[in-house]
Structure 1
Amino acid sequence: MYAYTGPPELLAHVRPGVPGAAATSSADIDRLAPGDEPFTYVVDLAGTLRLAPRRTEHVACAAGRPVLAAGEIMFERVRGEWCATEVSNQSTGYCPGPESWPHVAGALDRAGLPRPDGFTAAFVFRRCPGCGELNVVKDEYYVCVFCDGALTAT
């Protein structure tokens, strides 16, 4: 479970009780009419995939609540059915780890939406204990890009 750890001013603008649209079937994807860009998604604590337009903050899509996973997802029609073709865990508000994939896979499977075998882009996030800034770890280089402080491996 991931609690929101992003900027408090974004959380202050969330309308409690108004989460992103539930995507529990291919018909829901039809209704949401995806364009040529990904959606913002969260998997709520009940295991439901929730979608919002890409520029929506994850915390708004989750109505301010904790989540099991968060990131961006792209759907495309493949042989007439909606498929999740790109899925990431890119959410700096929740910083979900790559280990959140089973929750995404489960939500997509329950919705009957074909999917990749794992994140097509996986991110590792760490907050610097020295300066407090959020970092995206690249190439397993656990050093803060802001202050050169050491980042924790876990």
Structure 2
Amino acid sequence: MSRIYAYVGPPEIRRAVADTPAGVEIRAPADLLGWARAQPEWDADTLTATFVVTLAGVLRVAPRRSEHVACAGGQAVLAAGELTLRAEPELAVEGVTNQSTGYCPEPACWSAILPRLEALGVPHPAELTRAFVFRRCPACGERNVVKEGWFVCDLCGADLPAHWNFADSGEAH
């Protein structure tokens, strides 16, 4: 089962991107390569993109500078993070992270990403190339990225819980 991640970022960001089109659905390698080549940052070698996996199991991508909540069309997701793409010698996904401070997904969201990458049939890593651990501070409510196993709030110094503690939106099957 995959966890469903609701948006937990600042409400003002959600409001600011409310009218932004959702990310582009990627269902085939040609979709991914075509989207990448249309990006101004595409240098014919690599590109890093924002991505989400929707509750319907669809991979969506958007420019890296995009907010994940915009890429997701404001909806909850099964996974969110960044993909690094390479075109030569063949299209491949070189890197995948769960870096999204808007959704704060657990590294276990890999289980929702992997089937999408396998369905594309392009080379990809066997796991997240960089896994982020997120916790909400029970004292001040701040979202934190846990670094080097240091479970202490960056803002107020309170101890952070050992387990993921954002509002649980439920489980998907």
**TM-score class normalised by the smaller sequence:** over 0.9
Please give the alpha-carbon distance, in whole angstroms, between the structure 1 residues aligned to 2:80 and 2:159: 26
TM-score of the superposition, structure 2-length normalised? 0.83
Q: Identify the residue that residue 25 of structure 1 maps to in structure 2.
A: 28
Could you tell me whether the CA contact under 8 Å between 2:23 and 2:60 is conserved in 1? yes
TM-score of the superposition, structure 1-length normalised? 0.93
Please give the alpha-carbon distance, in whole angstroms, between the structure 2 residues aligned to 1:145 and 1:122: 19
**Aligned AA for 1:71?**
G
Q: Identify the residue that residue 10 of structure 1 maps to in structure 2.
A: 13
Deviation at 1:56, TM superposition (A): 0.4
Which structure 2 residues correspond to residues 35-114 of structure 1 after superposition, within 5 A?
35=42, 36-79=46-89, 81-114=90-123
Gap runs ≥5 in structure 2: 164-173
Deviation at 1:57, TM superposition (A): 0.1
Could you tell me whether the CA contact under 8 Å between 2:33 and 2:87 is conserved in 1? no
Please give the alpha-carbon distance, in whole angstroms, between the structure 2 residues aligned to 1:6 and 1:151: 18
Gap runs ≥5 in structure 1: none
- Answer 1 or 2: higher relative contact order, Cα 8 Å, separation at least 6: 2
Q: Between the two proteins, what is the percent identity of the paired residues? A: 48
Please give the alpha-carbon distance, in whole angstroms, between the structure 2 residues aligned to 1:13 and 1:145: 26
Q: How many residues align?
A: 153
RMSD: 1.5
Q: Which runs of 4+ in 1 moved over 2 A?
A: 13-18
Please give the alpha-carbon distance, in whole angstroms, between the structure 2 residues aligned to 1:54 and 1:95: 16
Please give the alpha-carbon distance, in whole angstroms, between the structure 2 residues aligned to 1:122 and 1:22: 24
